[in-house]
Amino acid sequence: MAPDELLQRAFDDHQQVARATPAAVREPFARLVSVAAQALRDGNKLLFFGNGGSAADAQHLATELTVRFESDRPPIAAIALTTDTSTLTAIGNDLGFDRLFARQIEALGRPGDVAIGITTSGRSRNVVLGLQAARERGLVAAALAGRDGGDLPGLADPLLIVPSQDTARIQEMHITLGHALCAALERDLGMG
């Protein structure tokens, strides 16, 4: 396939998933905004985590909230559990990669915080265990996923499932949903 054909196919596929996603996630997105805004009003924080591209999304979204998204405003308490290399390598080495996020949530999470796992498949073991640890400690366990939601239905609530099987398209929607969350939180907290 020629480069221009690949480009057109990528945009066509993106647009198809972008048209289907709002209807698929409307209700859980509204609940995510609501629980996150309430947590922040109550002095709690958001904890983002995921692997690979989803780790980058976790960092991106935490940064948009702690620094600024659309407006100059006070900082919003958000942390990416994907950035501390000493912690990540120690957990991976001493406790195993599956415990990467659960251990950090055990250390940093407090009842009322919102843990937001990001996984395109919904089956990333360390994300699943992180969300289980969040629920056990009284945090809201929320997630962004794709495909059929994997192991997350019944565990993560709210759960936003992008209606696609394609990892790239799911990731594109995750960052769009994350940006929408940032904009909604700035508005709901009276900062935008």
The arrangement of strands across the sheet holding 159-162 comes to 78-80, 46-50, 114-118, 140-146, 159-162
What tokens were used for 91? 């957990």
Each residue's pLDDT tens digit, 86-112: 999 999 999 999 999 999 999 999 999
Mean per-residue pLDDT of the chain: 97
What is the model's pTM? Answer: 0.97
What tokens were used for 130? 């992180």
Each residue's pLDDT tens digit, 32-72: 999 999 999 999 999 999 999 999 999 999 999 999 999 88
Ordered by where they begin, the domains of the chain are 3-188 (3.40.50.10490)
First and final C-alpha spacing in the chain = 45
What is the percentage of the chain residues whose pLDDT exceeds 90?
96
Helices (H), the chain: 3-41, 53-66, 85-94, 100-108, 125-136, 167-188
